[in-house]
Amino acid sequence: MTTRRDRPPNLPARHNVRPRSPSEALEPRRAPSRPRGGKIRNESPRVSGFVKLLSGLFTLCLVGMGAFAATGAMLYHLYEKSGPLEVSRTVAIPKGEGRIEIAERLEREGVISNRWAFVASHLMQSWIGRGAKNLDLKAGEYEIKKNASIREVVETIAQGKSVLYKISLPEGLTSQQIVERLKAEPNLTGDIAEVPAEGALLPDTYRFSKGMARQEILDRMKAEQQRLIASLWETRQPDLPIDTPEKAIILASIVEKETGRADERQRVAGVFVNRLRKPMRLQSDPTIIYGIVGGQGSLGRSITRADIEQKTAYNTYTINGLPPGPICNPGRPALEATLNPAKTKDLYFVADGTGGHQFSENLNDHNDAVANWRKVERDARAKEAAEEKAEAAAKPGQTPAPGGVPSPPAEDAAAEATPAAAPVAPTAQAATASNIPLPVRKPKR
């Protein structure tokens, strides 16, 4: 039984009246009446609309964020998923193709499985990583690894990790010969406006991407030559008889053509430096050849007495000092040797029959070295004649030619009969390649 003490405070007594029956307890009670004197506040339509707008925008943002997250997760899966390539292969991206064209090409060639995933992933990565790294897709030829993901493909093309080809341009080539080699390289493109000046290029092995312009290789060779000669000029020996980098290149081109042996370059350079100091004529056979054929490089035959006596601007048998320009494009070793030659008293050198040269300080020693070289010449001709005779005898139905050492041509005999005041050194190429001398050698004076 509820007593007055059991009633909550401030609760009207009628709310504590016990129901007369269970059914009456289940009936809803009448709501309390509105307090007297209170004002009814009407809701503003403007505020109601603004709240609804905010609510809608908030809902839309939540839906958009959810969709963006789902799309990003899907793209990330496609971006990192292993690609369809079963084996590594090379893919060429031509110049001028845009993002969509590149994606179509990659999908067509089976590198990626979905072009639009590639485009979307590239856009997303470009936006996320902007300012940090450059993700522009670059033309070139690329090696794509087996099962490469879209991320790996994008990074390979964006970073320009293209397959590099190489072309070797040896020391001693003329500028015309270098241009001809570049034109014969099928992985290079474009024309060459003009043949560069002799000696302006640095021979070396150059790497390039497929489709690179030939002129770009030439420009790189020019820049490397200028950089190298400027660096070496600062470390040259003092009191050299060459006072400009251009003259150093001229002398280095002669040293380059006279010997291909690394252990002889400085000594050969020393001979020419000593001769310039005397002064004595350089009397270098390669200058004879260049004076006749120019940039073609090769005479195609042995030097004759008429060639030696022919007056050209480059023939150092007929001119004093250096020729007017280089006779080839010298390499780094020849330039280094020219600017830091061996400090000797050598004035002569001649082939020794082993691929190298015999150096001498005076004429008597040089004449002895020349006599030894002439013997090597005769032995070589005798050996050649014996081989030809044996070969002819081995063929049935043919009569072998009479044996013996063949007589030298008339001009050769005249040259050998001349008193050897200062015989000339054979060209290094003939001596190094086969150890067989050129048939004509004129004495140095």
306 SS3 class: helix
Q: Residue 85 — φ and ψ, nearest 5°?
A: -65, 125
Rounded CA-CA distance 30/28 in Å is 7
Count structural domains, the chain.
Answer: 3
Cis link prior to 279 (omega < 30° from 0)?
A: yes
- Determine the residue type at 439: P
Rounded CA-CA distance 334/157 in Å is 40
Rounded CA-CA distance 256/331 in Å is 7
Please tell me whether residues 95 and 208 are part of one structural domain: no
Please tell me whether residues 260 and 119 are part of one structural domain: no
279 belongs to a structural domain: yes
Rounded CA-CA distance 304/315 in Å is 13
Please tell me whether residues 203 and 337 are part of one structural domain: no
125 belongs to a structural domain: yes
Angle at Cα 159 formed by Cα 158 and Cα 162, nearest 5°? 100
pLDDT the model gives residue 442: 38
Which residues sit opposite 205 in a β-bridge? Answer: 168
- Determine the residue type at 283: Q
255 belongs to a structural domain: yes
Q: Which long-range contacts (CB under 8 A, 24 or more apart) does 9-12 make?
A: none
pLDDT the model gives residue 28: 65
Question: Which of 158, 192, 208 is the C-terminal boundary of a domain?
Answer: 158
Please tell me whether residues 382 and 261 are part of one structural domain: yes
pLDDT the model gives residue 443: 36
Please tell me whether residues 252 and 224 are part of one structural domain: no
Which two structure tokens, joined as six digits, stand for 196?
A: 């560069």
Tell which residue, 283, 259, 302, has the closest CA to residue 443: 283
Please tell me whether residues 135 and 168 are part of one structural domain: no
DSSP element (H, E) containing 363: helix 363-394
Q: In tens digits, what is the pLDDT along the chain, a chain of 445 residues?
A: 545 555 555 555 555 566 667 766 676 666 666 666 555 566 566 666 667 777 778 788 888 787 777 766 666 667 778 888 888 888 888 888 888 899 899 999 888 888 888 887 777 777 765 544 567 888 888 888 888 888 888 888 888 878 889 999 999 999 999 999 999 999 999 999 899 999 999 999 999 888 889 999 999 999 999 999 999 999 999 999 999 999 999 999 999 999 989 999 999 999 999 999 998 999 999 999 999 999 998 888 989 999 999 999 999 999 999 999 999 999 999 999 999 999 999 999 998 888 889 899 888 889 988 888 888 888 888 888 888 888 888 776 554 444 333 333 333 333 332 223 333 433 333 333 323 333 334 334 3
Which residues sit opposite 164 in a β-bridge? Answer: 209
Which two structure tokens, joined as six digits, stand for 278?
A: 């005397």
Rounded CA-CA distance 118/98 in Å is 13
Please tell me whether residues 355 and 383 are part of one structural domain: yes
State the sign of the Cα–Cα–Cα–Cα dihedral 375, 376, 382, 383. positive
pLDDT the model gives residue 197: 96
256 belongs to a structural domain: yes
Q: What is the DSSP string of 125-180?
A: HHHHTTTT-------EEEEEPTT--HHHHHHHHHTT-BPEEEEEE-TT--HHHHHH
> How far, CA to CA in Å, does 69 sit from each of 63, 74, 432?
10, 9, 72
Question: Which of 196, 211, 233 is the C-terminal boundary of a domain?
Answer: 233
121 belongs to a structural domain: yes
pLDDT the model gives residue 15: 54
373 belongs to a structural domain: yes
CATH code (residue 106):
3.30.1490.480
Rounded CA-CA distance 412/366 in Å is 19
pLDDT the model gives residue 39: 57
Rounded CA-CA distance 381/383 in Å is 5
Please tell me whether residues 174 and 288 are part of one structural domain: no
pTM of the model: 0.66
370 belongs to a structural domain: yes
Q: Tokens 């080539």 belong to which residue?
A: 173
> How far, CA to CA in Å, does 331 sit from each of 139, 151, 324?
32, 43, 19
All residues at 6 or more sequence positions from 119 whose CB lies less than 8 Å from its CB, including other chains:
99, 100, 103
Question: Which of 233, 254, 274 is the C-terminal boundary of a domain?
Answer: 233
State the sign of the Cα–Cα–Cα–Cα dihedral 84, 67, 154, 119. positive
Tell which residue, 401, 442, 390, 396, has the closest CA to residue 420: 442
Please tell me whether residues 369 and 309 are part of one structural domain: yes
Give the range of the structural domain holding residue 203, as residue numbers without chain letter: 164-233
59 belongs to a structural domain: no
Rounded CA-CA distance 287/250 in Å is 11
Whether 351 and 278 have beta carbons less than 8 Å apart is answered as no
Please tell me whether residues 279 and 414 are part of one structural domain: yes
First to last CA, the chain: 150
Please tell me whether residues 204 and 346 are part of one structural domain: no
Please tell me whether residues 282 and 351 are part of one structural domain: yes
